Amino acid sequence: MLNITIIENFLLLGFSGGRELQILHVVIFLAMYLAILIGNLLIITLVIISSHLHTPMYFFLVNLSILDLGLTSVIMPKSMANSLKNIQLISYSECVTQMFFFLLFLSSDLFLLTVMAYDRYVAICQPLHYSSMMKWSSCIQMAGGAWMGGFLNAALHTGTVFSLPFCSNVINQFFCEIPHVVKISCSDSYLNELWALLFSSIPGFGCFVFIVMSYVQIFTTVLRMPSLANRQKAFSTCIPHITVISILFGTGVFGNVMQTSNSPYNVDQVLAVLYIVMPPMMNPIIYSMRNKDVKAALWKLLGFILGKKNKKIYPIHL
């Protein structure tokens, strides 16, 4: 007979240990979370207030920043709060909600990066048709499709995982992650982990193939350009997107593959932090450092703020 129990709360082992280690975890997570908040909110602000950034590419970039903020906000504040309170519990409903929104933002992030690859394909391979193919109505529909795809993927995965019977409530992770939740189910652990990996890889693999095909067409078109300046300009618009995709896929694939192996518990934690924190923290830096338009908008904003602060106020003499 399987020892199936009714679960009301899960125990997140998280970054357990001495009080000093918990405080260190809070300090490190707080610093990373603040960096993510400041960077992504700055990107959103710059795009909103700068009229020359009101283009499809920056519209998608704003959506990407919103998704990155959501992705980290459903994980990091709860983990920091548990460490500060010296508790490890998360309720069943909170665990379901956390997994759903984590998958929603992560899946939508992936779908949106695929849409951004299509945007670069149209801009470089079909520049004469760009304005007609990338109308605002089309951009809104594509962004909405990315969010909807993420919603359906999250609902499907979350519903499937929590339909399993559980024999334990101890999750060897600092949040409700699919591989570790599947491990505490009563059915065969190895088959469940393998199923979870394959099942979650289907949308990712499809997006990866589409992105690769898009960039094969892009590079073919760019290499045929007679002007070196045009080739460099085309490549420069693609480098930030390629870098962001590489970080997301690299950390995500490496982390999930390692977690399905017999890796130590602490390694699983580090890998999870890597693919949750690195992309949202690096995306604003990548797009601001290699983009002249974003840097120009940033300097303009800083000049406006500093100008306001340095403005002299003269007294009125009656």
**Residue at 86 is within a domain:** yes
pLDDT single digits (tens) 66-119: 999 999 999 999 989 888 888 888 999 999 999 999 999 999 999 999 999 999
The enclosing domain of 200 has a CATH number of 1.20.1070.10
pLDDT single digits (tens) 1-20: 455 556 788 988 877 667 78
pLDDT at 116: 92
**Residue at 33 is within a domain:** yes
**Residue at 76 is within a domain:** yes
Which percentage of the chain shows pLDDT scores above 70?
Answer: 80
Give residue 272's domain range: 9-294
**Residue at 158 is within a domain:** yes
CA distance 213 to 230: 22
**Residue at 300 is within a domain:** no
**Residue at 225 is within a domain:** yes
Q: Of 184, 161, 176, give the one whose Cα is nearest residue 78.
A: 176
pLDDT at 316: 46
**Residue at 4 is within a domain:** no
The overall average pLDDT reported for the chain is 82
Number of domains in the chain: 1
137 or 203: whose pLDDT is higher? Answer: 137
**Residue at 303 is within a domain:** no
pLDDT at 254: 66
